[in-house]
Structure 1
């Protein structure tokens, strides 16, 4: 019988991977900032329409803008953590699902032991 098991993928931090992550965070932050500007524009446009509650429009749009600004603060925190992360440290990047063969007599503890895939600069360097 085959079962599906989740296996963590861990990235070994290098100068190159730190730079790439920094670029990803910067792009995400820039995208959120553009969305905030677009929401403000749409808010002003809607508030000028007749028969629309300006207060209701303001509340709805400010909620969305606040959510994006909170995400930007979270990204700032992640950038701070990235900057203090030493080269060579492991960072969990996500997880993948793997098929595991289970037969009678299999060692369950070994099958379920904490295995991980290690990646360095986009190349798998180990499966332990």
Structure 2
């Protein structure tokens, strides 16, 4: 029987990259493959690939996102499942320009603001991204 997905710990800031809100999402024991040399040179953001987990392509809409990570059938992440859903963000995002990167133990999500003059600071400080509970 599959375990229910856990909501991972995360931190949020809007000063890491201009025009974006960054979420650093902790995925314990996650190991990732590095990007290719051409991606590094061209500053492209291909979808990250896990060595010991499946990092699903996140679903972004104008006011929400969902990210799922499933651990491999063996090893340090055996049976682990993580899901982070936010149904109503404080402001709209440009879902076509949102993306994720990954490093061992972390997934970093970049949400592109539709209006760069809108500050998310109050919502970040208050922890009010309105995270939904898993069903």
TM-score under structure 2 length normalisation: 0.19
Which protein is richer in strand relative to its size?
A: 2
Which protein is richer in helix relative to its size?
A: 1
TM-score under structure 1 length normalisation: 0.20
